[in-house]
Amino acid sequence: MFQFVLAAFLQLSLGLVVEAAPVTAQGTNWQGPTGGGIVGFIVLILDIVAWVEIVKSNRPPLNKVIWCLVVFLFPLVGMLIYYLFSNRAAHNDSGYEAIPS
């Protein structure tokens, strides 16, 4: 189930890349995070990095899904909320410790 959700997120993110074509009416590639262009592509890449970090963390599965939804539904704001308020240092521990020699 979790792999299906992750695959769906990745497919939707690739769909966003396709839809991120610059709007020619404004004549510039520098647009907001939902309008495509260079800024939109950078936000998309940072969102994917956040998703990978969320999935690799040692959070409970429900918390992972909630954080992924926040980042997915609110691309710029959700990513900022995750990086500022998610207590990443406490959840990035993989549970493995080096054996002292």
Query: pLDDT tens, 46-86?
Result: 888 888 888 888 888 898 898 889 888 888 888 888 888 87
Give burial (CB, 10 Å; 0-12/13-18/19+) of 79. Answer: buried
CA atoms within 13 A on the CB side of 9: 26
For the entire predicted model, the pTM comes to 0.55
Judge whether 37 and 29 are in contact, CB under 8 Å.
Answer: yes
The residues, any chain, with a CB within 8 Å of residue 38's CB and separated by 6 or more, are 29, 30, 31
Residue 4: alpha-carbon gap to chain centroid: 16
